Amino acid sequence: MDDMKNKSDEYWKSKLTPEQYHIMREKGTEAPFTGKYYDNHRSGMYECAACGHKLFSSDTKFDSGTGWPSFDKPVNLENVELLEDKSMLMNRTEVICKNCGSHLGHVFNDGPKETTGLRYCINSCALKFKPEEQKKE
């Protein structure tokens, strides 16, 4: 398989929108309550917008009130990479797509206590939503 982590900046600039490039390759963030998925309640799978890697199921999405899509766990822990992030005078844990190395958001330990206790706070533009197929009757 092609090594997505070592693609050139030119490749990513041609594949991503300017906002996606800023967030996913330069580790930016979108403003709260502006992303297309923070209030999405449909069933389906959230994939990496850069490479299509499956990241989060709608079954783990919850309303955190923060303005970003929030999940209590990834679809598979092997699909994300967690890195220490000490930028902006904070100590956080960055969430990265393990397949392509794109920045997705951060994970915090203030999620639902009845599940994992984690909140994966993810930028909408770093995601592509694939709705669950409707069952034909």
pLDDT one-digit tens code per residue, 29-80? 999 999 999 999 999 999 999 999 999 999 999 999 999 999 999 999 999 9
8 A C-beta contact, residue 105 and residue 118: no
Q: Any idea of the CA torsion for 71, 68, 80, 85, to the nearest 10 degrees?
A: -120
DSSP 79: G
Q: What is the pLDDT of residue 134?
A: 56
Mean pLDDT of the chain: 92
SS3 57: strand
Banded model confidence at residue 121, pLDDT cuts 50, 70, 90: very high
Higher-pLDDT residue of 133, 52: 52
Whether 136 has a pLDDT exceeding 80, the answer reads no
| Active-site residue identified among 51, 97, 121, 125 | 121
In the annotation, is 121 catalytic? yes
**pTM recorded for the entire structure:** 0.91
The pLDDT of residue 2 is above 70: no
Percent of the chain with pLDDT over 70: 94
